[in-house]
Amino acid sequence: MELIIDNRQDKMDVTEDLIEKIKDIILECLDSEGYDDDYEVSLSFVDNKEIHELNREYRGVDRATDVLSFPMLSDEFDIELEEETLGDIVISLERAFEQSIEYNHSFEREVCFLVCHSTFHLLGYDHDTDENTKEMRQKEEYILNKLNITRE
């Protein structure tokens, strides 16, 4: 799996340890759903201002959010690529920090949760109904617990 990182914010530090955990989460999500690791994921770190603009532009929601997912996986195209693009994840590290305080756990755990959550969106899951939300939450908790990323 290739992880392409674009850090477009300067409010929060991104450590190598965090990047390694992010890679592990994405790989574990792929594995748990029966996918191999021949995928490319683009991960952008932004601030609240930029994610607000993206949320307004792509979802028509005029406010900041924590994470946006842009899935690229599709059965519509039968093109043999060496590495298929799974999609793009955009995380506001500023919002992740705010939420880590709100939920009383570490910044690292919040970023890991958001990556896990977004990866399942890239794999086709959604939380548009109570049943889908429950299924998605179970999958997220399974991955985070398996990797020992707990609410400290």
CA dist., res. 111 & res. 75, Å (int): 29
Q: Above 90 in pLDDT, residue 152?
A: no
All structural domains of the chain with their residue ranges: 2-146
Known binding residue 52? Answer is no
Q: Tell me what pLDDT residue 74 has.
A: 59
Known binding residue 127? Answer is yes
pLDDT single digits (tens) 15-40: 999 999 999 999 999 999 999 999 99
Q: Above 60 in pLDDT, residue 49?
A: yes
Which strands, in side-by-side order, build the sheet including 39-46? 2-7, 39-46, 84-92, 67-71
The CATH number corresponding to 2-146 among 3.40.50.300, 3.40.390.30, 3.40.50.10540, 1.25.40.10 equals: 3.40.390.30
Q: Tell me what pLDDT residue 79 has.
A: 47
Q: Tell me what pLDDT residue 151 has.
A: 79
3-class SS string, the chain: CEEEEEECCCCCCCCHHHHHHHHHHHHHHHHHCCCCCCEEEEEEEECHHHHHHHHHHHHCCCCCCCEEEEECCCCCCCCCCCCEEEEEEEEEHHHHHHHHHHCCCCHHHHHHHHHHHHHHHHCCCCCCCHHHHHHHHHHHHHHHHHCCCCCC
Mean pLDDT of the residues in the chain: 93
The candidate with the shortest Cα–Cα distance to 95, out of 86, 83, 103, is: 103
* Its pTM surpasses 0.85: yes
pLDDT single digits (tens) 74-94: 555 444 444 689 999 999 999
CA dist., res. 40 & res. 43, Å (int): 10
pLDDT greater at residue 23 or residue 150: 23
Lowest mean pLDDT among 78-82, 102-106, 109-113: 78-82
Q: Tell me what pLDDT residue 34 has.
A: 95
